[in-house]
Amino acid sequence: MTTLEQTIEKILSTRRITRNDQTLIMTTFAKKTLSPRDAALINKVYDALHQGRLRVVD
């Protein structure tokens, strides 16, 4: 499991996203060669945020 996968698993299980989590996701998203798997994981977090299922914490 990659660091991104571990981070997203933690985010979704705790229903919280930190600034550090956000930075990791943004760094991964900014890569020109984003894998379909990574894109799907990032979309899961975006969808959860959009639906109000995550809380942003510092």
pLDDT in tens, the chain (58 residues): 568 999 999 999 999 999 999 999 998 888 778 889 989 999 999 999 999 999 999 8
User: Where in the chain are the domains?
Assistant: 3-56
Give the C-alpha separation, 3 to 46, whole Å: 18
Give the C-alpha separation, 22 to 51, whole Å: 17
Give the C-alpha separation, 40 to 56, whole Å: 20
